[in-house]
Amino acid sequence: MASNDTDQLEHLQTPAMIVAKGQVTFANQAARTLLGAHIVGQDVRIAIRDPRAIELILDANGGTVTVSGLSVGGSVWEIDSVVLDSEVRLVSLYDRSERVSVARAHADFVANASHELRTPLATILGYVETLMNPKAGGDEATREKFLATIRHEAMRMQALISDLMSLSRIEASKHEVPGDSVDIVALARETAGEFRTDGEVAVSANCDSATVRGERAQLAQVLRNLIDNARKYGREKDKVEVNVEATDTGWVLIAVRDEGDGIAPEHLPRLTERFYRADTSRSRAAGGTGLGLSIVKHIVERHRGRFDLTSRQGHGTTASVMLPLLRD
């Protein structure tokens, strides 16, 4: 291959190699970064340690093959081999990891959503069929008990559908920067006030106001979800603490703390995944949809902020949100 051709390949962002007689004679910067600078001059089997990929590269007809783990565990790469002459191949490598990950996440989401809806729906249908039986439906105590269960399951479905629609709206607008000014101190006190009929929520702040660029309804949803979680999983009658702290570095920190049993360390990294629950039975009994923290994460990301969870078993959990302050 002429030098001007390799010069053009050098500037491609796609990893590319020239393989002649089974040896890597050229690798562009992207390929050297991916596979290591040592691959130039080496047998192609050293550069790519996948039997199917090697078979394709050495094949007289060329073609395409998909391999896993070429860069890191779980990565997915498409390797394309073009025959330039009987002994020379142009090998290009395309990272398909994100596409595969998105497809897998979509499939998992549909499966999980279907399961979450199917369970309460099956319960409702079962109780309705029982009530249609004159013997069961004619007994007032049984009827009231079954109707209460039907109502509970219907409300659970309603909450799940509401959260699904909310998550969909948030994802649709995640690239739009919010344009309103929101006082986080006032919003925290207002949102906490919604819960005072059911349990004590204490709000403290190191400032009178802390203004951020945001969408008020979404930020209220973040606070509402975090306070609701703290109340559900904290110990009964213990206070939920909401602390707002404006920092000198241009951020406002919102920390929501409960005094519950805490969360095991292995669960913490996955709690913002859709439908993931550290304690499935307790979450469902408390009325959780498994989407609350995922919604929080997406809203915070849209507001260019950071979300974190810390917990010690037996000592409670703290959910922290950091948002950039609106500068004068």
d(CA 277, CA 292): 10
Q: How confident is the model at residue 113 (pLDDT cuts 50, 70, 90)?
A: confident
Our separate counts of H helices and E strands in the chain read 11, 12
CATH code: domain of residue 262? 3.30.565.10
List the 76-85 sheet strands across, edge first.
23-27, 16-20, 88-95, 76-85, 63-68
Q: How confident is the model at residue 253 (pLDDT cuts 50, 70, 90)?
A: very high
Q: Which domain range does residue 41 map to?
A: 3-95
Same domain assignment for residues 198 and 212: yes
CATH code: domain of residue 79? 3.30.450.20
**φ/ψ of residue 201, rounded to 5:** -125, 115
Same domain assignment for residues 67 and 191: no
Structure tokens at 70: 């070429």
Query: pTM (2 decimals)?
Result: 0.57
Same domain assignment for residues 155 and 197: no
The number of domains in the chain is 3
pLDDT digit string (tens) for 144-174? 888 888 888 888 888 888 878 887 777 777 7
Give the range among 75-79, 118-122, 256-260, 285-289 with minimum mean pLDDT.
285-289
